Structure 1
Amino acid sequence: MTGDVRAPAAPAASGQAAVLGGGPGIVDDPAEITPAWMTDVLRAGGLDAEVTGVRFEPVGTGQTAVSYRFHLDGRGADGRGAPASLVVKMAAGAPDVRRRLRSAYRNEVGFYAYFAHRAAIRTPRCWYAAVSDDLLRFTLVLDDAYPAEAGSQLDGCSQARATIAVRNLAGLHAPFWNAENLSGEEGFGKDAPLGRDTAWPVRADERGMAYLGKVVTAAAAEFTERYREQLEPEDAETLLRAAALVSGWGRHTATRHSLIHGDYRLDNLLFTGDSDVQAVDWQTLEIGFPGRDLAYFLSTALAPAARRAQEVELVAAYHDQLVEYGVTGYSGADCFEDYRRGMLQGPLITMIGCVYASAPRTDSSDRMFLSMATNAARAIRDLGVLDLLSASA
């Protein structure tokens, strides 16, 4: 059985649907944001407050966009003042760079505008989301998650944090589990603002998977050559063989679908202790196989020994949360099998992200990519993924 979903429990509060266009306007420079601009954002979001002063500072190290923390001074009705701070994310770079990133900008704005309020995943409330007609400029205004801190791929995470992360992931997948017409309902189909050239969100077909296979095969050849001295020969062989299987991966992952994050890893998760987590960076959003997100997170976040000891329990925690949100006809055994079938996501995202990164190489980035790739390669071997996906569907 492929599973179905009942109406899930009420989602965690991530704010109402954001504005898509309109509002105070798209900004490309933080200096363009005035107290009046912020006041318009808050009032559009239902907060009767007036911002009287703003100051900002850069936050994060985004490679495809830039983010700023804005500190606000203000007053509000009924004792509700303006938030002490908000985060504003916007496009960056020259026009040719932005043209390559248009789909990423569309994905992130679209997630907050169309899906965040329907999902149960914890993510910062979005006050405002807008993208230009040519998809080269966008602006997001998000709740500031401070003092939450991003996870670290190099440091890994505890079992407690991994547990809240996989439960949070179920809150993305469950509300859209096997939903029909995800790329054509409620105004976000081919003729909608985010679907000018193609249906949105993207769902890779056989042709798309064949193209992706060529891209990752080329990336794997360069990646394994670049890190030839640091990679164990067995890991390098696993990465190359995994890349060769991507073009036919769709035959093994067509049984179910949902919205998937695509890059659900520690660096894109904001933790508050071991009790809360919020997911950010939605530029790789697509309709796809849910097991890809789960496999990618667990295979890259945990060192091999920790993953081997914890993965059965962690996959069960994810599955339990899906059931709690209303997914039916989907057993724990089905879920673990999907976890195995999703394992190509680790080498896929890691090697493409490394080889085609726009940011300069650093020692830190090299160590991060190597850690992710070797962890993923060992998970693939431990779980017999190459034999599983080499067999006919």
Structure 2
Amino acid sequence: MSATVPIPRGAADVTRRWLQAVLGSDDATVVVEDVEISRIGTGQTGATFRITPRYASGEHGFPSTFVIKLPADDDGVRAGVTLGYLSEITFYRRAAEQTSVPTPRCFYSDITADGTDFALLLADLAPAIPGDQIAGCDTDAARQAVTALAGLHGPSWCDPRWLDLAVAMPKPGDVAAAGGLGEVARMAADITLGKVGARMDRRDRETFSEALGLVTPWLHAGTETGRFALMHGDYRLDNLMFDSTTNSVSVVDWQTLGIGLPARDLAYFTGTSLDPDTRAACEESLVEVYHRALLDYGVTGYTPETCWQDYRFGMVQAPLIIALGAAFATPTARGEEIFLVMLERSCRAIRDLGTLALIGATD
């Protein structure tokens, strides 16, 4: 933690003096006269605010608005998601500038040793808006998303320097962690079914339970491919900001940063963010777009056929992340609807693609 720019405990600590210190105004290059703070988002695992500063006259080159991410207001929630906070800080400190994935510019990042206090000061992406997880997206938006995803995977493809990164999910080859996550996944599946199972189709309940029971061998089999890269982990519409004025997309919310089989991110996106009929009609072309983008980043020895196989195999990422969220996140009405929609879509995708049979074949 910086001795001169302390981590704000809450929004009340984000003062004009704090922002001025962060922006490095000791040499009077910028003077912040006042700040206006307003909460944005629902903040289930953290609190997010928009900062609107009033600068003194003169050229300074800083944004007219910022977004600051802070821990959840509830200390109990903070303690439960500290690894997620660390993952996001780690991404912006070590990975953001080493990849080509479009993300907001980071002006400040810090975290305490125990992870319960952290802060990220980011450029505000407005007028960009997040995708609508319940409504889903069309094929044009999906192409934007999978192309942006390749900007994360391609530059980090099979690069061993990332294997020491502090991440939220088990790393390739970590047998104990894979086994532990498998146990947690089965527990999360039971909790999730207890919460929303009555509203799920019987086939989806069966697919969901079977997939979550195979998490450990699925992780082992993914490691055995020898392919890995940095992963977002929760790559879906709610975590993508679309700007219609520039026809661009930016990726946010890096609390599930991981290292693993890259196509898990790709499968998770299509399996949760497209309605099943749209996905079935366009997924082969989306995988082709993603694969071509990887080659443009210098990935070699990765055939279209292997990419398609990885995509099919990776679809277990969807029910896994959904279960962890549904079981342990603070419940909300919209959150439950999102989980149900994502479960329906991803369970259908698992059946359509024969994913579970692939795990059995490699186990």
Is TM (by shorter chain) over 0.5?
yes
Give the equivalent residue in structure 2 for 1:270: 241
Query: In structure 1, what is the Cα distance between the partners aligned to 2:189 and 2:151?
Result: 32
CA contact (8 A) 2:88 2:255 kept: yes
CA contact (8 A) 1:50 1:82 kept: no
CA contact (8 A) 1:74 1:82 kept: no
Give the equivalent residue in structure 2 for 1:26: 7
SS of aligned partner of 1:283? coil
After superposition, the Cα gap between the structure-2 partners of 1:277 and 1:337, relative to the gap in structure 1 and judged at 3 Å, is: same
SS of aligned partner of 1:229? helix
TM-score by length of 2: 0.93
Q: Identify which of 339, 356, 363 aligns with 1:386.
A: 356
Give the equivalent residue in structure 1 for 2:36: 55
Query: In structure 2, what is the Cα distance between the partners aligned to 1:92 and 1:234?
Result: 36
Letter in 1 for 2:171: R
The answer to whether the aligner puts 1:35 opposite 2:3 as a matched pair is no
* Paired-residue identity, %: 38
Shift, 1:361, TM fit: 3.5
Moved more, 129-138 or 222-231: 222-231
Q: Identify which of 142, 149, 159 aligns with 2:139.
A: 159
Letter in 2 for 1:229: A
Give the equivalent residue in structure 2 for 1:232: 201
Query: In structure 2, what is the Cα distance between the partners aligned to 1:383 and 1:332?
Result: 16
The answer to whether the aligner puts 1:220 opposite 2:221 as a matched pair is no
The answer to whether the aligner puts 1:210 opposite 2:182 as a matched pair is no
After superposition, the Cα gap between the structure-2 partners of 1:339 and 1:367, relative to the gap in structure 1 and judged at 3 Å, is: same
Q: Identify which of 211, 214, 218 aligns with 1:242.
A: 211
Higher helix share: 2
Shift, 1:201, TM fit: 8.1
Query: In structure 1, what is the Cα distance between the partners aligned to 2:24 and 2:259?
Result: 33
Shift, 1:225, TM fit: 4.0
Shift, 1:22, TM fit: 5.3
SS of aligned partner of 2:326? helix
SS of aligned partner of 2:161? coil
After superposition, the Cα gap between the structure-2 partners of 1:388 and 1:134, relative to the gap in structure 1 and judged at 3 Å, is: same
Query: In structure 2, what is the Cα distance between the partners aligned to 1:346 and 1:47?
Result: 49
SS of aligned partner of 1:328? coil
User: Equivalences for 1:270-309 in 2 at 5 Å?
Assistant: 270-273=241-244, 275-309=247-281
Query: In structure 1, what is the Cα distance between the partners aligned to 2:197 and 2:16?
Result: 53
Q: Which runs of 5+ in 1 are unaligned?
A: 1-19, 189-194
CA distances 1:203-254 after superposition (whole Å, capped 9, x unpaired) = 1512211111111112223323433432221111111111111111123212
Query: In structure 2, what is the Cα distance between the partners aligned to 1:392 and 1:337?
Result: 12
Give the equivalent residue in structure 2 for 1:68: 49
Letter in 2 for 1:118: Q
Letter in 1 for 2:324: I
Query: In structure 1, what is the Cα distance between the partners aligned to 2:50 and 2:191?
Result: 37
Letter in 1 for 2:233: G
Give the equivalent residue in structure 1 for 2:86: 106
The answer to whether the aligner puts 1:369 opposite 2:349 as a matched pair is no
Query: In structure 2, what is the Cα distance between the partners aligned to 1:321 and 1:38?
Result: 38
SS of aligned partner of 1:342? helix
Shift, 1:53, TM fit: 1.4
Shift, 1:92, TM fit: 2.2
After superposition, the Cα gap between the structure-2 partners of 1:213 and 1:374, relative to the gap in structure 1 and judged at 3 Å, is: same
Moved more, 297-306 or 364-373: 364-373
After superposition, the Cα gap between the structure-2 partners of 1:351 and 1:202, relative to the gap in structure 1 and judged at 3 Å, is: closer
Q: Identify which of 280, 294, 308 aligns with 1:336.
A: 308
Q: Which runs of 5+ in 2 are unaligned?
A: none
CA contact (8 A) 1:291 1:338 kept: yes
Aligned residues, how many?
359
Shift, 1:276, TM fit: 0.7
CA contact (8 A) 2:82 2:115 kept: yes
TM-score by length of 1: 0.86
Query: In structure 2, what is the Cα distance between the partners aligned to 1:125 and 1:166?
Result: 21
Q: Identify which of 283, 291, 301 aligns with 1:319.
A: 291
CA RMSD of aligned residues (A): 2.2
Query: In structure 1, what is the Cα distance between the partners aligned to 2:7 and 2:268?
Result: 33
Shift, 1:21, TM fit: 4.3
SS of aligned partner of 2:24? helix
Give the equivalent residue in structure 2 for 1:116: 96
Query: In structure 2, what is the Cα distance between the partners aligned to 1:224 and 1:23?
Result: 48
